[in-house]
Amino acid sequence: MRVLLLAILVLSIIVPIGVNDVFANDRKNILEIASLEHDVRQGQYNSLVQVDSDTYALAYEGKDSDGFISTFTISSDGTSIVKVDTLEHDTVRGQHNSLVHVDSDTYALAYTGEDEDGFISTFTIDSNGNIAAVKTQSEGNNLEHDADQGVASVLHNSLVKVDSNTIALAYAGAGENGFISTFTISSSGVITPIQIQNHANTSEEDDVANLEHDAINNRATSVLHNSLVK
């Protein structure tokens, strides 16, 4: 039997602004090997994923608080970091980023965008690090999953892959309460909401609202996927 567990953890993370660092561990000390300043203007709300053996993708808030995706190659010994490509996917806001790998070349990003509402965007990234927008604000076709009538901020996004085409998002929403939403993402990057906050404001029979798991306070969220096979 396959049991899926979603665990909400509190984490505190400090990330250098606009700098990619590579470290080595000699079992006694953590040693910095190389460093690359990839954005001289701003680099906050970082979320980094591995694309292949030497390629990495970074979602972050850059200049003017806009949303960016950049890719890098990092050599196996960590001595070389090379920037490959950059895409400005949101020209209004791109904060509280959480980036996940969906399938072979498709990636999904949960972030806080215009009016501090919650958005999901998708991209393709090939093995060379080339980025293409699929469903993004810059293309005018990404998914706004939590608008909450503009009275609340979507914060502390944490996105996880549940199975081959399902993702779950934990975040702080209205009143900084804790919410979990779910979506499917096809191999072509099409996003379909399953249970989201915006469904609470519709009268459609098939629209199901997301889960409010904490009605008091929810910050610095992280959601994990744990599969147990018996």
pLDDT digits (tens, 9 = 90+) for 138-152: 999 999 999 875 556
Instruction: Write out pLDDT tens, residues 151-174.
Output: 568 889 999 999 999 999 999 877
Tokens of 188: 């072509």
- Write out the two tokens for 142: 């990404």
Reply yes or no on whether the pLDDT at 229 is more than 70: no
Nearest alpha carbon to residue 42 among 24, 21, 67, 22: 67
- Rounded to whole angstroms, how far apart are CA atoms 159 and 58? 14
As for how many domains the chain has, the answer is 1
Q: Structure pTM?
A: 0.80
Is 34 inside any structural domain? no
Q: Are 65 and 54 in contact (CB under 8 A)?
A: no
Of the candidates 179, 181, 180, which has an alpha carbon nearest to the alpha carbon of residue 216? 179
Residue 33 is assigned to a structural domain of this protein: no
Q: How far apart are CA 163 and CA 157, in angstroms?
A: 19
CA distance 201 to 216: 21
Identify whether 24 is part of a domain. no
The answer to whether residue 186 is domain-embedded is yes
User: What letter would DSSP give residue 208?
Assistant: B
Helix (H, G, I), strand (E, B) or coil at 57: strand
Residue 183 belongs to a domain: yes
The pLDDT of 182-195, averaged and rounded, is 94
- Shortest CA distance to 120 belongs to which of 208, 106, 65? 106
- CA distances in angstroms from 43 to 16, 94, 110, 124, 171, listed in the order given: 8, 11, 17, 22, 21
* Torsion (CA) 109, 179, 142, 208 in degrees, nearest 10: 140
- Please give the distance of CA 74 from its chain centroid, rounded to a whole number: 21
21 inside domain: no
Domain assignment present for 189: yes
Give the percent of the chain with pLDDT over 90: 62
Report CA 167 to chain centroid distance, whole Å. Answer: 11
How far apart CA 185 and CA 110 sit, in angstroms, is: 12
Average pLDDT, the chain: 82
Which residue type does 171 have?
Y
Sheet holding 67-74, edge to edge: 44-50, 55-61, 67-74, 81-90
**Cross-strand partners of 166:** 184
Domain span including residue 206: 2-16+39-229
- 212 band by pLDDT with thresholds 50, 70 and 90: low
| Residue 69, domain member (yes or no) | yes
DSSP helix/strand/coil, 107: strand
| pLDDT tens readout for residues 77-126 | 999 999 999 999 999 999 999 999 999 999 999 999 999 999 999 999 99
